[in-house]
Amino acid sequence: MKAAVLHEFAQPLSVEEMPTPEPGQGEVLIKVAACGICHSDLHLAQGEWDLLKPITKTPLVLGHEVTGTIAALGEGVTEFKPGDRVGVPWLHYTCGECEYCLAGRETLCAKQQITGCTVDGGYAEFLTAKASHTVRLPENLGFEEAAPLLCAGLTVYTAMKNSGIQPGQTIAIFGVGGLGHLAVQLAVDLGANVIAVDVADDKLVLAKELGAANTVNASAPQAYKEIKKLTGGGAHVVMVTSGSRAAYEMALRSLRRGGTLSIVGMAPEAVPLSTVAMVSGEYRIVASAVGTRRDLRALLDLASQGKVHCRIKTCGIQDINTVLEDMKLGRLVGRVVMKI
């Protein structure tokens, strides 16, 4: 099969032939139809994340927003049949037995395996996945449209839930990229008042189209003052979907007293925090990592009702290095999905 393979960190991926994997016990073989290109893929390929670099396998097929059809079943798999339309998310495997799995927080499972990181992912014509962690796609969702929901969509869906945002409250969403443009839609659907914040005007235009009540260009160092003014004191929740330290610094200054900072985007460098500001504002910080299978099913359900649409552009497997380069330069609007 054809695959885009990472052989060495910080080097271009190589599009090459490799053996088609075979499904083991409890696994399915999936013929990939589409795979979203996530910002995490770029960080992983660059070897930029200290926590993930040591567990990233090489050579590696990246990609954890995979959709396709069941091509073959491993031993013991009864819940799927060939031809079923499915998706494969970031969590390739969780143990189901530890305190976190049992408490419905499988994203914290220490035994987790990660699609396109610790095991091969979907930048390929085929991949194997655990049947237990493979989800069915709603009939009315196309493969390409559904792919980014498996990570980008799930991540913001879960973060939104964990942030505690209530209808009528204001949420400022920093970063209107792959994650942020989905966050805007989910927040609007919840009945929140959305302020979209980005440094790129075209992304702010998109946010308006998606229902944001206000937009703020964050290039000006005093932009947080505009957010304070628009909200009469700050946003109830500020969600940062970009991995930029500057965004986090401004986000903290945009919070309302008693507000919640929702950490989604991962900045490679540390973010300084004023404990004085934290204490006097009684701020809460909530971080969340992708989401569980239960949340994923709930999100796919919302998407099948038309509540959330991912703006996508498609590319071919041979375009992957160009797309990753554009992503590095912040040139992408919405999500790029690889059509296999």
CB-nearer residue toward Zn ion: 215 or 288: 288
Identity of the residue numbered 51: L
Q: Is 255 helix (H, G, I), strand (E, B) or coil?
A: strand
Compare residues 57 and 225 and give the one whose CB is closer to Zn ion: 57
Token pair listed for 120: 């091969």
45 or 235, CB closer to Zn ion?
Answer: 45
Give contact residues for Zn ion (rule: CB under 5 A): 38, 40, 94-95, 98, 101, 109, 151
> How many residues are there in the chain?
340
Smallest separation (angstroms) from Zn ion to the CB of 243:
12
Written as six digits, the tokens of 315 are 């590319």
Minimum distance of Zn ion from residue 97's CB (angstroms): 6
Please report how close the Cβ of residue 111 comes to Zn ion at its closest, in angstroms: 5
Alpha carbons 101 and 109: distance in angstroms, whole number? 6
Scan for tokens 């003014």, then name that residue: 229
Using CA atoms of 192, 196, 202, 208 in order, give the dihedral in degrees to the nearest 10: 30
Give 89 or 234: the residue with its C-beta nearer to Zn ion.
89
Write down the least CB distance from residue 285 to Zn ion, Å. 21
Shortest Å, Cβ 158 to Zn ion: 12
Q: Is 81 helix (H, G, I), strand (E, B) or coil?
A: coil
Give the full edge-to-edge strand order of the sheet including 60-61.
Answer: 14-17, 2-6, 60-61
Between the alpha carbon of residue 3 and those of residues 62, 83, 133, 168, 269, the distances in Å are: 9, 21, 22, 47, 32
Q: Which residues contact 312 (CB under 8 A, 6 or more apart)?
A: 36, 144, 145, 147, 148, 334, 335, 336, 337
CA distance linking residue 314 with residue 289, whole number of Å: 26
Give min distance, CB of 131 to Zn ion, in A. 17
Q: Which is nearer to Zn ion, 20 or 118 (CB)?
A: 118
Q: Supply the minimum distance, in Å, between the C-beta of residue 88 and Zn ion.
A: 12
- Residue 72 host element (H or E): strand 66-73
- Nearest of 48, 334, 295 to residue 175 by alpha carbon: 334
CB 45 to Zn ion: min, Å: 12
Distance CA 150, CA 170 (A): 26
**What's the min distance (Å) between Cβ of 40 and Zn ion?**
4
Distance between CA atoms of residues 77 and 54, nearest Å: 32
Name which of 194, 234, 191 is nearest 210 in CA terms: 194
